[in-house]
Chains A and B, each alone.
Chain A
Amino acid sequence: MPTFVYMTRCDGCGHCVDICPSDIMHIDPTLRRAYNIEPNMCWECYSCVKACPHHAIDVRGYADFAPLGHSVRAIRDEEKGVIAWRIKSRNGETDLNLLAPITTKPWGKHIPQLADAPAPSQEMRNSQLLYNEPKYIRMDDGDIHTLESNGLHMEKGVYY
């Protein structure tokens, strides 16, 4: 369902323009408010809906197959680390409130700064290992899997 923008809520801040992966949220030059310039290139990804500080952006299902009268709203809260959804069906029988976590840790604090990580040794450069390996890639403390370690060899042709 392509996005649309409520006239009275939008203040033209441009958060949606900044985030839209499809480059279809633009500011109307006369009204100074955002709108969807190309609905058939809208994936309904909700990136703009989630980014809008005024909840001014909503979605109306694609006209070629979605009847009117439904609503799927989202509020994403980075500080609390959750996203809240409300789904209302056309006939009103489905009215669901769903909550999901979006992160388990304070935003961005636990991603390593690799510039500050100890430099890899020449031995590691010559090996097949990547950063932080062999941690997590084996059950035991052994080295990376190779054809030899796993008793495999490559054979050319049709038969496996």
Chain B
Amino acid sequence: MAYKTIVEDNIDILVAGAGLGGTGAAFEARYWGKDKKIVIAEKANIDRSGAVAQGLYAINCYMGTRFGENNPEDHVRYARIDLMGMVREDLLFDMARHVDSAVHQFEEWGMPVMRNPKTGAYLREGRWQIMIHGESYKPLVAEAAKKSADKVYNRICVTHLLMDDGKENRVAGAVGFNVRTGDYHVFKSKAVVVGAGGASNIFKPRSVGEGAGRVWYAPWSSGSAYGLMIGAGAKMTQMENRIVLARFKDGYGPVGAYFLHLKTYTQNCDGEEYESKWFPALEKMVGKAYLDTEASHVSHRPIPTCLRNHAFIHEVNSGKGPIHMVTMEAFQDPHLEEIGWHNFLGMTVGQAVLWAATDVNPKYENPELTTSEPYVMGSHATGCGAWCSGPEDISPDEYFWGYNRMTTVEGLFGAGDAVGGTPHAFSSGSFTEGRLAAKAACAYIDDGKAEGIRVSQEQIDRRREEIYKPMEHYKVYRNEIVAGSVNPNYINPRQGLDRLQKLMDEYAGGVTVSYMTNEKLLHIGLKKMKTLEEDLEKVAAENIHELLRAWELKHRHLASEAVIHHTLFREETRWPGYYYRGDHMKVDDENWHVLTVSRRDPQTGEYTMEKAPLYHLVGDIEDKALAELKATEGK
């Protein structure tokens, strides 16, 4: 093929994927590496890429430490409770102690952050959430990243990481192709920060046509964070911990501001509160340590997101659907009504479009909610991602190997969705993780850890051939048929995606089976995954755009395979409401109070699974709540 090979050499820090994590990394890297060569490779246009492309109406991770609101450990406790204990508390504490620095700088740069007129502090939506007019959140952080970077390559789909041919298990850059010109791009770099995204569209969506685009997480979030790192042999953690969202039906518009700020609430078709009736049985499933409704009531301990989903799913399955969001009270206040609409326009315009199309006026009608198909990501109420080192002043030995946010591959760092065990980072926490990774990557280079990297021509040529194979395949077999998309020798990327979604849905706990799976189903799933992998060698791309879709599919496939292996390994139902292991329907702390860690051998494709210990750094109940409890007991 006539595509050029373009080599960018002598890079110090390559940022692969510039969403919130990647922009944070590029921005910060310049401070610690004044003379370093910093390069960004981004699949779309950095001004509107990643999950925050359309903006945000809230920043969901802000401590407010300087206003005396929360300390970092309070957030660790919250995230741990929400994730049923399964988090990396060292990484979470580290993120939380830095995150306010990012948020206040956003405001300095020009982000409209709403303030509480009485206190002067940021206007709270909830305990961790503040309200912003964030339509231009992404262009703003992109500007910061562009100021720091030597070069920004837009429209580069990074397909693989490059590995050092001199030293085993050390990263050496990345390769990919330009989505516009088709050219082959080689980035030789001493360190790589993966800021690529988590995965939408790996489980069959509820929608059946065009609406497949209206996924909760962006359709361009192709699991590339996982595809790239798994492909390089990095260890992954908590990949079973997919997330299901309770959201406005079809549009998947956000509910956070509705619950927290507008004080709306949910009810079943008969107008009844339904959650509490499911909790006694659920308490037996998960144990009092994870759900104690009485204690929660007194101590304001939050009910985990997955358990609230559980009540929702069971209420609907018992014939009491639909579940409604009661907006008719709050929306009588014109100010709150306006906030309700702004909330959608700021981050999920599609929900406003849907309400306009279906004549929903939330002042006079309570809109329907639904539970979504599962998503695999690591920055919302879920913590999929790579097994990364923590910071030296916090992490125990099992969590520490030299550089903060470095994966088990030397010189390969992660931020945002790429880092496992760090839920509730959201946009600001992801940006912060990027900053932490960048500082550590600079130290890694300054310490001489990236000396003598060698990339063979053989590796560069082999990847080139691999990247364009779907187009070659198309050319060879296209003319065997008259026309159309049915060909005995290939499938196109859309057909491959449909197959992946169907099998993940049916065997790994998707929406059509009410999130249920078991050992037998997962084994069948793995088998089908293997044949799909073989067929993906025969995926055909008619043009460069389809080549992009082909590689997104391959990344989604690698992420999905890890999800099945992890789900199979953890023999318990840790997160009822996210998924159920029908053969192990309870939380099993005796055997599974651990993090799951996997590695896929890049040569053989074989998986090895192991358990890693959980370290906890803070008590279950906050000092404030504990004091209140004791006072109540005394009475």
Contacts and interface: CB of A to CB of B under 8 A. Distances in A.
Contacts of B140: 103, 111
A43 B214 contact: yes
Contacts of A150: 71-73
A123 B99 CA distance: 22
A136 to B, nearest CB: 4
B53 A45 contact: yes
B101 A132 contact: yes
A130 interface: yes
Contact of A72 (B27, B356, B620): B356
B111 interface: yes
B210 A2 contact: yes
Interface in A13-32: 18-23, 26
Interface residues of B, number: 98
Contacts of A130: 28, 98, 101, 435-436, 439
B207 A64 contact: yes
A93 interface: yes
Contacts of A87: 341, 352, 356
A142 to B, nearest CB: 10
B357 A90 contact: yes
Nearest to B81: A160
Given A39-B213, A103-B140, A94 B354 contact: no
A137 B89 contact: no
B345 A110 contact: no
Interface in A46-66: 46-47, 59, 61-66
A131 B614 CA distance: 31
B322 interface: no
B89 A61 contact: no
B609 interface: no
Contacts of A39: 210, 213
Nearest to B621: A160
Given A19-B47, A23-B545, A111-B147, A139 B98 contact: no
| Size category, A interface | 35 or more
A39 B155 CA distance: 20
B396 A154 contact: yes
Given A68-B357, A136-B66, A103 B110 contact: yes
A71 B616 CA distance: 51
Given A19-B45, A19-B48, A62-B207, A103 B136 contact: yes
Contact of A21 (B49, B104, B350, B619): B49
B220 interface: yes
A115 B30 contact: yes
A69 B357 contact: yes
Interface in A128-157: 128, 130-133, 135-139, 144-147, 150, 152-157
Contacts of A108: 143
Interface of B: 27-28, 30-32, 34, 44-45, 47-50, 53-54, 65-68, 71-73, 80, 89-90, 93-94, 97-98, 100-101, 103-105, 107-112, 133, 135-136, 140, 143-144, 147-148, 155, 179, 207-215, 218-220, 250, 338, 341-342, 345-346, 349-350, 352-359, 361, 391, 393-394, 396, 435-436, 439, 443, 545, 548, 589, 593, 613-620
Given A62-B350, A113-B147, A115-B34, 14 more contacts: A1-B350, A1-B353, A22-B219, A39-B210, A41-B213, A44-B214, A44-B349, A93-B359, A114-B148, A132-B101, A145-B97, A157-B593, A157-B616, A158-B593
